[in-house]
Amino acid sequence: MLQSIVAQLAAVLPGYATVARAADVLRLAPRSVRDLIYSGRLPSSRVGRLHYVRASDLEAERRRRLGAPLPRRTPRPVRPRTSATPERPIKRPHVDPALRRQRAAERAEVVMRWAERHAPSNPLVPFSPVITVDRVTCASCGRAIHPNQRALEARESGDRLCLTCGRRALMQWADRRRLEAAAARRLAQDLGAGAETRVA
C-alpha cells in the first residue's frame, strides 16, 4: 500500500524518476539501471524496495554515457582564513601581569583544597604483608614459615607472624580501634550535650 502511494507520488512529482523511467532515458534494461544504483554510479533514494533517481543525477549519467560534457557546478565561495601576519598581527586583550599571577595563585589554591578534600584516606595498619625469603618462625605460635610464603610483619617491632596469627592480630587491632572510636563518639556527644545545657 505504501509503495503504491510512493510510486504514484514519484510519478507526479517533478525531479524524480523511477527505475523504469531511468531505463527509458538511458536506453538500458531496468536490471542494468539497478546495477548502476548498486555499484554507486547512479545515486538514488530508496523507499522500501523501490529506488527513485533524481533528475539531475539521471541527466549527468546520460551525458556521461554519451560522452557529452557534464554541466559545470558553481564552486562555493571560499572564505579567507584570518591568520596572524607581520603586517596584521592578531590583537589580544591586554591583561595585567600582576592580575594574571593572582588568578594563577587562586586557581592553584582551589586545586590544593580539592586535592586535600579528596585525598585517599588510608589508615596506618600495624601489619604489612610480606613474602618471606628465608625460613623464619612465627613470633606468636612458633610455627615455621617457609621461604616464598606470605606472612605479616609488624611495623614497629619487625616480628613475623603466620597468616593465622596475623589475621587474629588484625581482628583484635580492629576491635580495639572500633571500641576507641565508639568511646570518642560518646565523649563528643556528652560534650555537645553539656554545651547545650549550659547555653540553655
For residue 104, tell me if it sits in a domain.
no
The pLDDT of residue 200: 46
Distance CA(154)–CA(100), nearest Å, equals: 51
Instruction: Report helix, strand or coil for 53.
Output: strand
Domain edge (last residue) among 49, 66, 83: 66
Cell of 22: 531511468
Count structural domains, the chain.
Answer: 2
How confident is the model over 137-188, as pLDDT tens digits? 998 888 898 888 888 888 888 888 898 898 898 899 888 888 888 888 888 8
How confident is the model over 18-48, as pLDDT tens digits? 888 888 888 889 898 889 888 888 888 887 7
The pLDDT of residue 100: 87
For residue 162, tell me if it sits in a domain.
yes
Residue with cell 587474629: 168
For residue 52, tell me if it sits in a domain.
yes
| pLDDT score of 2 more than 60 | no
Cα separation values, 159 from 38, 147, 170, Å? 79, 16, 14
For residue 109, tell me if it sits in a domain.
no
Q: Provide the domain limits for residue 19.
A: 1-66
| pLDDT score of 189 more than 80 | yes
How confident is the model over 117-151, as pLDDT tens digits? 766 666 678 888 888 888 889 988 888 988 888 88
The pLDDT of residue 82: 58
Domain edge (last residue) among 47, 66, 85: 66
CATH number for the domain harbouring residue 16: 1.10.1660
Cell of 142: 612458633
Report CA 53 to chain centroid distance, whole Å: 41
Domain edge (last residue) among 66, 95, 111: 66
